[in-house]
A and B are shown apart, each in its own frame.
Chain A
Amino acid sequence: MSACVICVLNFKGGVGKTTLSVNFAAALANSPSPQGRNYRVLLIDADPQSNASVYMLGEYWRREIFLKPEKSLYGIMTRILQGNTQPINESDILGQFSDEAPRSPVFSTEKKITEEGRGIYVESDAYWPNLHIIPSHYNLNNFEKEIHYNEVGKVKIPAFSTPVYYFELLDRVSGFLKEYYDFIIIDCPPNIYTMTEIVLYFSQNILIPVIPDWLSTNGINWLLMQVRTLSEKFQHREKLIRAIVPTLWNTREHVFSRHIRILNKSLSVWKRNEMYREILSKAEIWVGLQRLASVNKCIESIRPIVDYEISETARVQLEMMTKKIITWKEE
């Protein structure tokens, strides 16, 4: 069975890509699969800012990854560039692959504030054996400089008999990932450089978080154009924009409702447009994730939203969207 790969993408920063990626990953890992176990989920943090990694790993990232960038996605990518094309395996991933293995560092700590106002990390009772992560590192930014490709976008790597397109690099070594996991969620960087193209080539499904304001909705036009251009560049490897996810909205400001209305109407127009018909064929606008104190509280204490009870608004909204993602697996 092949993994359902979902890329959380928007070239605009601060729209909630990381919050959604991490929390979708956790909500999926918390859901039972038809096989009688919970879904196996991998989060790939492709953003050099490494926020998703810090959110999921807390102090562990600072201790184990920050000083050893080779243990991150940067390590994997540079290893491939240097000619080591061994497929990604368990040793590249942070997570627990068997009951006997040591406890996974994923969400294994939580941040508490002491009486003096100091943030300390304490071990959590929660247990996430089926939620894994390939963390990021600030050095991933340098990868863009280290990769040299020719005028048609091909790189010479000794292990491959012929030069390969730079955007194929991750896909070529991802056999194990697509076999083992049910869902792979990718937190993209807020740009459209090499790393974004690499992860976009690797994914089939795209989720676009958007703040329903003028700048963000305006930017969707350009985003669509770019995704379509890349889809052509990838020789029409199937790419589907599955959902536009409104984030950071509140019920008090009418301007958000107005922009969602504009987005809704625009989506129906784009769907009729020859250029976008294919990539938008299954696109819809979701309930999204409201700006809520509870979401900030989760991020502050480095816990996922599914830690809350099901009646909490943030969790209700997250689970409503997660249910839709689960149906993609059955398609």
Chain B
Amino acid sequence: MNSVELKKKLIKLSQEPLEKLGSSELKKIYRQIQSIFDSLERMTIIQKVEELSNSIPLENKPFYLELLKKFPHKKPSSNAKKEVWEKYYLQLNNYLDECKRKKNELNKLLNNIQKINEDLALKQIQKLKDEDKKLLSLLASLTERNSKGVSSLFLGKSKEGNLAWLRELKNVKHLGVLYTEEL
């Protein structure tokens, strides 16, 4: 059985003499069909929500996931009403727009930091709030090799740590593996 088969059966059913059924039987079938319509509508909006969550660019996933921790609305349960899901969709959409604005703002800063000299860049980094330092680190997704393997680099309070992050940021541009010209 699949959806094609089911559709064929439903078309066939619509051509059958349903008037032969009693009113209670008709009501029962009507309610069942109505429940299928409701379920399909709900699935459509759930799909939209899931697509929205999955439309986050993979390259910025850690950044968005961090911001989404602060998203105040809880995901509805799968059997919640269509209207609840619709409301959640709008809330999520607006929040992701805000995240995007924040991303663009921090991306500008990241590009700027990459271009200016170390001292100036360190001063700019120092001015940032702790939260923005974390977000900027997530946006850059920098890693370093250590004795255990690879660990993520984060901006913090120590000057040495921030310098290591900054040097790696400048280094990323020159991986020399894929780029054939200056980006």
Contact = CB atoms under 8 A, between A and B. Distances in A.
B163 interface: no
B2 A287 contact: no
B1 A310 contact: no
Interface residues of B, number: 35
Contacts of B143: 254-255, 258
B131 interface: no
B54 A320 contact: yes
Contacts of B62: 251, 254, 257
Interface stretch (B29-37, B43-51, B87-95): B43-51
Interface residues of A, number: 45
Given A221-B178, A255-B143, A257-B58, A316 B50 contact: yes
Contact of A316 (B1, B51, B78, B141): B51
A269 B55 contact: no
Interface string A140-179: 0000000000000000000000000000000000000000
Contacts of B57: 260
Interface string B1-12: 111110000000
B120 interface: no
Contacts of B47: 310-311, 316, 319
Nearest to B63: A257
Nearest to A276: B180
A37 B59 contact: no
A68 interface: no
B7 to A, nearest CB: 9
A265 interface: yes
Given A127-B1, A266-B179, A311 B59 contact: no
B179 A264 contact: no
B152 interface: yes
Contacts of B50: 310-311, 313, 316
A263 B5 CA distance: 43
B54 A258 contact: no
Nearest to A265: B183
A309 B42 CA distance: 12
Given A262-B175, A287-B55, A310-B47, A37 B4 contact: yes
B104 interface: no
A310 B55 CA distance: 15
Nearest to B142: A258
B178 A311 contact: no
Interface in A228-269: 246, 249, 251, 254-258, 260-266, 268-269
Given A214-B177, A220-B178, A255-B143, 13 more contacts: A30-B2, A125-B1, A129-B4, A218-B177, A221-B178, A254-B138, A255-B150, A256-B58, A258-B142, A258-B143, A260-B58, A266-B179, A311-B50
Interface of B: 1-5, 43, 46-47, 50-51, 53-55, 57-62, 65, 78, 138, 141-143, 150, 152, 172, 175, 177-181, 183
9 contacts: A126-B2, A254-B138, A254-B141, A255-B143, A257-B62, A258-B143, A260-B59, A269-B179, A316-B50
